[in-house]
Structure formats: C-alpha cells, structure tokens
Structure 1
Amino acid sequence: MPQTTKPNAVKVPPKSADLPAVIPAKPKRAKPDAPQSYEALDRATRAALARMTGGVSPYALLESWTDWAVHLSRAPGRQLALAEHARDNAVKLGAYALRTLTEDGHPPAPFKPKAYDHRFMHPSWEKLPYALWQQSFLATQDWWDMATGHIRGLRPDNADRAQFIARQTLDLFAPSNFPWLNPQIMEETLKQNGRNIVEGSEHYFEDLMHTLTQEHPDQPEGYRVGEDLAATPGKVVMRNEICELIQYAPETETVKSEPVLIVPAWIMKYYILDLSAHNSMVRYLVEQGFTVFMISWRNPTADMAELSLDDYRRMGVMAALDAVSAIVPDTKVHANGYCLGGTLLAIAAATMARDGDDRLASITLMAAQTDFAEAGELLLFTDESQVAFIEDLMWDQGYLDRPQMTRTFATMRAEDLIYSRAVARYFLGRPDMPSDLGVWNNDTTRMPSRMHSEYLRGLFLENRLTAGRYAVEGRVIALKDIKAPMFVVGTETDHIAPWRSVYKAKLFTDGDFRFCLVKGGHNGGIVSEPGHPRKHYRLGHREPGALYMDPDTWLEQHEPTPGSWWIAWAAWLAEHSGGEGPPPALGAEGYAPLADAPGDYVFET
C-alpha cells in the first residue's frame, strides 16, 4: 500500500496569505486631454501611423538601413568582396543554365533554399524555365545575405535588422508568389480548369472579412474548445479580475503529495497545454498521478489597460499559489511556467526566495527566457524607437491587439507562415486542414498596455532581471536566490525563445539544475506527447555549485534520447515528490468550485 507522507510545513509570508480570492477591478485610466496636449497629439499621430505599418516603426527601419548603407559606403574592401561575390554567383548561375540546356537530367543546383524554406519543394522547380527563376532568386538571396552581414563599426542590431528588411523584400518578390512563375500553380490551374483560382478567391475574401471584422473563425467540427480541446475534466476553483484557476479531477486512486501548478503565457490561450486527449500535457500529468492546477488568463480589454506585470504576478501566480496551498495544505507545490508565463514564474520564484516563502518544491520553465540579451529575431522589433511606437499604439487602444502580435511572429518565418500558406490557400485553392494546434493558434488574445510596455522595456530592452536591476515591491530580486530544483526546457528550432537564450538561466542560478533540449519549435517542441514519431530530447544535469558549461559544449556532450521529454520530466517530478495518498477534494473553504473546466475566460474573444 502506498504511504501518505507530508513534507515539513512550508512558510507562507503574511502578505501572500492576506491576498483576497477576488480582487476588485482598478479604476479605468484617464487619458490626457488630447485637444490641449501637444504630447497627446504626437502620440495619436504615431498611433495612427502604427496602425498602417502593423506596429512596426518606420524610423527604426530607416535608421538601421541608413547605418548599414553609410558603413558599407566607407568600406571599399567590403565593396570589392561583394562585387567578387556577385561575379561568382553570376558565373555559377550561367554554368548551371548552360548545363541545364545541354545535358540530360537535372544537374546539381549551385544554390539551395534554407532549411526552413519549403517554397521550392515541388519537382517541377527542377525543370526549365522554372529552375532558372528559382536559382536566380536564391543567388540574389545569397548575395544580400553577405551584403547585409556585419561590418566593422556597424551596430550588430542594425546589421541584423538590415538583413531582415532585405529578406522580407526578397520574399515579397519570390517567383513562387506569382502564378505565371510558379509551376505548381500553373499545373494545378490547367488540371482543374481554373477551379483552384475560383476557390482561392473565395478563401481570400473570407480571410479579408475576418481581418476587417476581427472575428475569430468558427471552430471546425472535432476541434471545439470545451468539447474536443481543453476538455480534461475539472473545476474552476478561483476567479479574479485577471485569471481563473482550474483544478483537474484525478484519474488515479492515489496521487502524489505535491500538486502541480501550471502558469501559461497570456499572449495566447492556456489550452496549448490541454489540446486533444492524445496530446494534452494536463491529461498526461493527471494520468501519472499528479494533482494539476492550471491558470486560465483573461483576455484583456481597454478597461484593463493599467494592469501591470506585477499585477500578473500578484493576482495571477501568487493568488493561484494561495488557492493551491489552501486546497492541498501543508505541502509544497511543483510550479511550471511556459513562455512568458515561465518568465513571470521565475520573477515570482525569486521574489518568494527573497521573502522567505519556500512553498515551491520545484520549478519547471518551458521555452521561457530569463535573460534577453540573445532573444533572437524578436530583438529586431525591440529598440527605443520601436518600443515607443508600440507604446503609443497601445496608449491609444489600451492594449496590443491580436493581429499586431500575430503579424510580428509570422514575419519572422514569412517564407512558410505567410507566403507558402497564401500560395496554397489563394492560388492552389486548398483550405487550411484543421488541427488542434491550428485552432489554438488562431484563438489569439490581447495584452494590456502597461504590462506589455513594462515587459518590453524592463526585460527585452533593458534586460533588468539578470542585470540586478529588476525590483518587486521596491526591492531588487535575484535569480540566484532560488534554491528549488529547476527543470528548464528549450526547443531546437525556437525562433521566439532561442534555446541558447533559454539555456542562460544556468548562468544566473547555482542550485540543482536540469536542462532539456527537445526537438521542435516553440510550440511543437513543448507539445511532445509519448508515442509521437521522430521526437527526441537531450537531458543534462548540473549539480549545485558546479562550474558553468557553455551551450555549444553542452550540446556536443549530450546525445539525443529518442522519445518524449514528458516521460523524463514526469519521472523527475516524481523524484522530487513525497509519498502518495488519496486525491484532494475539488476546491476548499474559500475556493468552492465556480464552474466546470475550462471555465469562462477561455471563451473570451
């Protein structure tokens, strides 16, 4: 028979325990008197421009392009190298064209698409004249990659931004985007007698109406939230202005003593971690005998513009932790944060450590950054001009709207996320095939103005958390104060939270630390259920006080293990848990069940 054990009583600071279960809304922020304020006129003008540019600052782009052009103009050696590179590419292209015209078969192409570029996979791209158009485009792309590389004296972020601008411009004029230059479109049009163009036009106007009205598309049959997705049974046991807390019903006769609290990102809905039954992380944990709690964030409106990042910590993480401690008393809690939720959890954990609150049994951070010096291509959208531009847009709206965030993420992989999809949908007439991840990806949310501004400035722009300048309640916090064991997950092809950036949590902590690098991207790598084919992970362990190992060395020394990282993580959670006992009741005094899972907030649009 399993034994019921309880760890030592945990210390709970009075401030956290005094937090009410329901927190009253803040008064709505009063805007400046625009007619009498020159400042308001400036901000309103920039906000109007931001709407036209999708939230991208033209001043930041112009500054980067000018910086690059000026430095290139005074670098004659670099100009000669570029001229030679253009000559070499022209020779390669000419030789390829000659072999294609005179030889049988398909001679090897001198230029290859990037690994993530799937626009030229159709076999007809190897045939004339399409092969020459494809190779001409890739040769031009290759030259611009070199031209916009780093130059001595050029600010690295401006070089990266100039390369990004060049890539976006080239992608717009890629031959795959034009029906008369794309062999796949031409073949499909002839095969269907133009029916694909008619159906593609219908798809285009359908998408256009959704864009203009900002309505969410209907969820397809078999992918309904609350029925097919986010369908793990449970109860909402807490609700306040900012979030709901879901406690999931047990599926085993006994459960681990320590519950699991999951803090998802509020940039999207929480059910990325509770998708279909076969790939739901929540359901998997429940089946392994864990008591699981999930925060479901509210979709903010303009009335919530003044919510701060610390409000999300207090009224989200800490309020949820208080509820979990009341429902499962006298035990510690395994906390898990995903993406932005993981960053917030790290802040909360460091604050708890500073204040002597030892309720955390362990901390798991999934694709979550704590240091933002190497935050990847998102840094291209984060300088003083860009942040001020977005702030003015949010000042006018009260929030950062759904399409503005979606567009930013899409442009970082425009080849696949914008152009390949557009070609398939509008020219080939193919509807988007429904999937649980696709439905979740379209179920976008907003972000409160003040919170997002603090996040961009305090973390992305100024990197305060690991610089010893991030204060909570007037006092600076430090990640090194965290003593709970940590399990940090990075994904190999993540372009939102690059794994080397996620890995840097090891630099700023000195406790028991496991780093897990998994196959996949920001979402697909985390949703990695057992039985999924072609998945693998690497797992390393740093003992407390051990010397630092750089990420490239770490990668060389850790071989991939086939399978799902969920299995290794669940085993680690069990290792850091006490005994087992009967499942706790759903809810407790002061936290009575309010509704069935998935609650109300997940349905807000």
Structure 2
Amino acid sequence: MRKQPSTRNLPASAGSMNAQSAVAGLRARDMLSTLRSLALQGLRQPVHSARHALALGGQLGRVLLGDTPHKVNPRDSRFADPTWQLNPFYRRGLQAYLAWQHQLDNWIEESDMSADDRTRARFVVSILGDALSPTNTLLNPLALKELFNSGGSSVLKGLGHLFDDLLHNDGLPSQVNKQAFEVGRSLAATPGAVVFRNELLELIQYKPMSEKQFARPLLIVPPQINKYYIFDLSPDKSFVQYALKNGLQVFVVSWRNPDARHREWGLSSYVQAVEEAIDVCRAITASKDVNLLGACAGGLTIAALQGHLQAKRQLRKVASATYLVSLLDSQLDSPAMLFADEKTLEAAKRRSYQQGVLDGRDMARVFAWMRPNDLIWNYWINNYLLGKQPPAFDILYWNNDSTRLPAALHGDLIDFFQHNPLIRAGGLEICGTPVDLRKVTVDSFNVAGINDHITPWDAVYRSSLLIGGDKRFILSNSGHIQSILNPPGNPKANYLESGKLSGDPRAWYHDAQKHDGSWWPQWLNWIQEHAGEQRDTRVALGNPHYPAMEAAPGTYVHVR
C-alpha cells in the first residue's frame, strides 16, 4: 500500500550524538570545563542571572499554589505513571523540575555566549537535567510501590545489582540479562561452517534452506565494532535465514576481536581481508562475482574495497552492493563534536595506540550517553530502584557483546570523520590505490533509519549519492539496529521511497511515497535480480581447497 508521508515536516535529528562522537570520544574534563564556563558566565552577567533567578522563583511560587505552567512531553515515558499528575506532592515536584529546566534553557539561550558555547552548554545541561530527574530517586512512585509490595526486598536486590555492576559493568546499569542467551545455541544458531580463516576474519558459509539456489553468492560484511550475529539472532529475526529460505547462497564475515598485538590493523588491512574472502566465495561457488552487503562500518569497508578494486581494474568481482545505515559522506552536525578539536582528536589516537586498541566498552559508554534516559536511567530505575533483573532481549545482548578496534583502524576512522575523504576523488587511499567512488559503477541498494541517532538518515542519503551505478534508497521508520532487523510481519513497519534521487535529502523526503511493511521483500526482489540463474541446491559446504572446518558460529565470535 502506498501513501504520502503523514507529515511534510522534515524529521529532526534523532540525537545530539552520533557515530562520529563515539569514535572521537567524549572526555569528562571537557564536560566539567563547560560547567565551569557556565558558572563563570553567571558571574559575568549578574543582572541577566538575577532576572532568570527571579523568574524561576515566580514560577516555583505558582507551582506551590497548585498551578501547572509546564506540559510534559507526551513521548517522555519517565512520567507516564498517573501519580505524577494526580498526587499534589508529585505534581508540584514535577512542575518544579520542569520549571528549573525551562528557565535554565532560557538563561543559556539569552546569554551573551557564542553560538558554539551555547550549544555545548545545552548539551551538558541536558545530560545533567536527565541525571537529576525526580524519577531517578527512591521517591519515584514506581519504586515506592515496589518497595511496599516486596516488603523492602526490592531495595536489597537493587543494592545487589548496583554492587555487581560496579564490579563487572564499569559502573553502568546492565541493559540485559546475559545469562538468558548463549551464542551458538539461542543466538547465531543457523547451521553452517567456517570455510576459511585468516588473521582478521573467519568466513562462514551457511547450509542452504531451499530446493533451488541462485548461482551468485551473497557476502555479508558486519561492522568491526560488533559481532556478526546481528544478522543471525533468533530465527524470526534472522536476516541470514530469510536470505537462505529465498534461495540465496549466504556467506558471512566474522571479525576477530583484536588485542594490543594487532594495533597496526587499519582500514586497508580489513579491505585486504574482505578481498580475500570474496575470492574464497567465488572459488567455492564457481561464480565469477559476488553480491556484497555491508552494515555501518562494514558499508564503509565494502565501499573502500570497491574503490580499490576499481583502481586495479578488478571491479568485475562485485555484482552489486547493499549498504545498511552506512556513512560514506561523514559530514555530521553534533553538539558533542564541539568538544573535539584537533588536539583532542590527536590525543584520542595517541591514547588508543598506546593501549593498542580502543575498547568497545568505551564506545558503548558514549553510545549510552546519546540517549541516557533510554540506555542508562531506564535501567537505573529497573535494576536498582525496582530491584528487578534487566530484560532478556536478544538485540541488547548482541549490543553488549562488543569488540575492540585496533588502534590503526581507530585512527583511520577519526581521520575519516575529520576530513570526509570519500566526497572527492583520491581523497582516500586504500592498499596504495586512490579511491574514486563515482567510478564504482556497481548497482547499489541503500537503507537508512529515520530515527537513527548513530548514522543520521540524511548523511546516509548523501552517502548513497557518492556511488556510481544504478541505486535505490529506502528510509525505514526505525532506528539504527531496527532498520537492519526489519523482518516482514511487523504491523508498525513502513518505509519511504522515491524513484528519483535528488541532490537534497529534504527534497527527496517531501517527494517520497510511504509504503507499509518491511523493506526486506523489496531488497529480496532486487538482490534476486542480481543473483544470477537458479540451479539445483548444492548441499555440501566448502570445497577441496577450502574444506568446512568448525561448525558455525566458529571460534572468533567467542573471543572476549
């Protein structure tokens, strides 16, 4: 079913931080420096500060008298409990909190600070305001109800969870019950085998699930910062099984989790490893070329690989490319990046090189602060104030099963975000060859998420325009991960698409048509057109030169 978008307003940015922020890092001292600057600003503008203090006092007086001058954002689930509206004490507390936030925002906006300083200040104040929310205390009505219902045991359980997280989770609330899943059994359980291994990756080939299969294989390249099985969670969410059941030959890269010995692995190292995996896929399937699929940083990797192959006149090895939430144009606007000057970025490179790697947990902390109410304070309330176990959720389990980045790749990604090299011919050099994406004439299928806070959709759209060849762009009504995990059957799923890709994301958005359902079937039709002829299914995995070794999910996925 086709519809026009329900609104003509361009969707706002989904968050104040993104992949660039996570790669560059965010230091506590930079945040504290902004808070000190705010305090000094208050002293430099005493009349301005006094006027807003008096205004806040007036609003608090109205609140004490029972007035409710501020509306709660209906999308803010923190105050969904009716107690916040019906109980006079809680209603006044909520209104006082909202009045303080409102007046502080006005104080920043009307100050004589520079535009960048105001943006930094709003960013820090928003994080501080979320942390000081009255929902994060034991006076939260949900916590009080649980306290009485449990006879006090919720507090004891919460303290136990807090102590455990201080010891084993870097002091952040656990997002998932890690005992609820096991990789290779409840997750990443699709039958297959490792058919090739080098220092950087294992190549997994999956057993077919159809009577006929297409001749040209699909090679999936996941992001280096996460493990591959986002494509093979539970059977109802498994992208791998969806492709297998529809006749595709599927291979997946499983990256090795690097340590300090591998600090020299850069983007060129990963490109070389994927090129080797392509040759193995071609040899096993007797196909002259493959279809590539890359997600997030995996998309950057396959784009750089195709640029390298084009420079070597070997692009014929690739028949098509699918990019999921992938950035090739790295121009992003983020308040957090105002904290990162050249000296800060060089310090981040130096720090990771000294350690040999950038730990995935460090990136996970930054990602969590992108949406603190959802990814920190929500679990603070659940785990500590209510004393409950974190949920058993497969996506969150995968998200917490992060890996490390070798120092050289971390440096390459910082340079990528700092210099945006792919927008110009020869701006990026891979394996000694200059990359020009406009000469990459491979057909492409591009997917972005309208609520993606990691790789914003408009930047993903601009990225799709950098590539030559015929291309399709689809905008899913989801976030970063949900845009990938979008199986048919979700009644809330929909996406936007337009047959014409204009140079302006805003113009494309206003011309796009809304379609109900998942984008997976659209991609399936497209990839099958690029998958060659159908033939009888070949059941055996590997071949005499590349025999099947360990059963999937292999060994690299288990490395902590």
Q: For this structure pair, what is the TM-score category when the shorter chain's length is used for normalisation?
A: 0.7 to 0.9
1:275-424 map, 5 Å: 275-315=233-273, 317-357=274-314, 358-374=316-332, 376=334, 379=337, 382-424=340-382
Task: Give the structure 2 partner of residue 161 of structure 1.
Answer: 120
Distance 1:382 1:301 in 2: 26
Residue 196 of structure 2, aligned match among 221, 234, 238: 238
Residue pair 2:448, 2:461 contacting (<8 A) in 1 also: yes
Distance 2:124 2:442 in 1: 43
Q: Does 1:492 align with 2:450?
A: yes
Deviation at 1:480, TM superposition (A): 1.1
* Distance change in 2, residues 1:464/1:75 (3 Å): farther
Residue pair 2:288, 2:317 contacting (<8 A) in 1 also: yes
Per-residue deviation, residues 477-530 of structure 1 (Å, max 9, x unmatched): 122112111111111111111111111114423431211111221112211111
TM-score by length of 2: 0.87
Distance 2:175 2:195 in 1: 28
Distance 1:356 1:70 in 2: 60
Residue 171 of structure 1, aligned match among 130, 150, 160: 130
Deviation at 1:318, TM superposition (A): 0.9
Residue pair 1:68, 1:159 contacting (<8 A) in 2 also: no
SS in 2 for 1:278: helix
Per-residue deviation, residues 233-291 of structure 1 (Å, max 9, x unmatched): 11111101111000111111111122111110111111011100110001101011100
TM-score by length of 1: 0.80
Q: Does 1:567 align with 2:524?
A: no
Structure 2: state its 5+ residue gaps.
Answer: 1-23
Query: Match for 2:556: what amino acid?
Result: Y
* Distance change in 2, residues 1:346/1:92 (3 Å): farther
Distance 1:292 1:152 in 2: 58
Task: Give the structure 1 partner of residue 92 of structure 2.
Answer: 132
SS in 1 for 2:154: helix
* Distance change in 2, residues 1:541/1:91 (3 Å): farther
Q: Does 1:113 align with 2:57?
A: no
* Distance change in 2, residues 1:64/1:179 (3 Å): closer
Residue pair 1:342, 1:365 contacting (<8 A) in 2 also: yes
Per-residue deviation, residues 440-492 of structure 1 (Å, max 9, x unmatched): 12212111112111211x21122222244211234431221121111111111
Query: Match for 2:134: what amino acid?
Result: P
Distance 2:304 2:36 in 1: 38
Distance 1:149 1:467 in 2: 37
SS in 2 for 1:362: strand
Distance 2:109 2:464 in 1: 30
Per-residue deviation, residues 418-456 of structure 1 (Å, max 9, x unmatched): 112111110111111212112212212111112111211
SS in 1 for 2:88: coil
> What is the aligned-residue RMSD (CA, Å)?
3.1
Distance 1:392 1:114 in 2: 44
Distance 2:236 2:203 in 1: 23
Distance 1:362 1:339 in 2: 17
Distance 1:551 1:413 in 2: 25
Deviation at 1:292, TM superposition (A): 0.6
Q: Does 1:514 align with 2:514?
A: no
Distance 1:552 1:68 in 2: 35
Q: Does 1:528 align with 2:486?
A: yes
Distance 1:71 1:444 in 2: 40
Residue pair 1:55, 1:393 contacting (<8 A) in 2 also: no
Task: Give the structure 2 partner of residue 44 of structure 1.
Answer: none
Percent sequence identity is 33
Distance 1:72 1:488 in 2: 48
Task: Give the structure 2 partner of residue 209 of structure 1.
Answer: 167
SS in 2 for 1:220: helix
Deviation at 1:96, TM superposition (A): 5.7
* Distance change in 2, residues 1:345/1:142 (3 Å): farther
Deviation at 1:118, TM superposition (A): 2.5
Q: Does 1:447 align with 2:402?
A: no
1:414-493 map, 5 Å: 414-456=372-414, 458-468=415-425, 469-493=427-451
Deviation at 1:213, TM superposition (A): 11
Query: Match for 2:276: what amino acid?
Result: A
Residue 598 of structure 1, aligned match among 544, 553, 558: 553
Query: Match for 2:26: what amino acid?
Result: V
SS in 1 for 2:162: helix
Structure 1: state its 5+ residue gaps.
Answer: 1-53, 101-106
Distance 2:550 2:393 in 1: 27
Residue 460 of structure 2, aligned match among 502, 507, 514: 502
Distance 1:514 1:84 in 2: 54
Residue pair 1:379, 1:460 contacting (<8 A) in 2 also: no
